[in-house]
Amino acid sequence: MRPPGDESGAFLVAIDRLQPSQLYVSAEKLARVREMIASSGPASLAPLPVVRLGKDVVLTDGHTRTYAAWSAGQNSLRVAWDRDELDMEAYAICVGWCTGEGIRAISDLEDRVVSTDAYQRLWLDRCAAMHRLLATRRTG
């Protein structure tokens, strides 16, 4: 069955149906995205990439844009199935981190908008450590 979507494959989905795969949002990045949306308008945002993981529709990118849209009062967003080959094991780990900490929707990140330094330490460094572990395991 063809997935839903317009000619570009994009379709509207309720924001609260999107499962994050990220634990934090950078306040500085958020400010830049808000500035971009203010100057270009929300319609300028490209559809956000999602994948299905079990029953969940998971954001693979664009958490900051999604958070900006949600916090501006939007309740739906254009998304598109991510057709790229992805490291689904890594995404499954990230989603596991999120669900393990009770993050089931973008609104659950409300108390997790952190400074650049904290974002680096709490999120980016954690991703990097996971990849080092995965690489070690995969190369035996």
Beta bridge partners of 80: 10, 49
Q: Figure out which of the listed residues 3, 4, 16, 32 binds another protein, where binding follows CB under 8 A.
A: 32
> Cβ closer to another protein: 14 or 31?
31
Query: Is 120 near another protein (CB under 8 A)?
Result: yes
Query: Is 128 near another protein (CB under 8 A)?
Result: yes
Beta bridge partners of 25: 113
Q: Of 12-20, 69-77, 95-103, 116-124, which part binds another protein (CB under 8 A)?
A: 116-124
Please, which of residues 42-101 interact with another protein by CB under 8 A?
Answer: 46, 61, 64, 84-87, 90
> Cβ closer to another protein: 1 or 84?
84
> What residue type is 54 in one-letter code?
G
> Cβ closer to another protein: 13 or 37?
37
> What residue type is 23 in one-letter code?
L
Query: Is 125 near another protein (CB under 8 A)?
Result: yes
Nearest Cα neighbor of 51 from 84, 13, 98, 76 is 84
Pairing of strands 18-19, 25-26: unpaired
> Cβ closer to another protein: 56 or 62?
62
CA distance 64 to 48: 11
Instruction: Give the sign of the dihedral formed by CA 48, CA 36, CA 16, CA 109.
Output: positive
CA distance 108 to 90: 21
Contact residues: another protein, CB under 8 A:
26, 28-29, 32-33, 36, 46, 61, 64, 84-87, 90, 120, 123-125, 127-128, 130-132, 134-135, 138
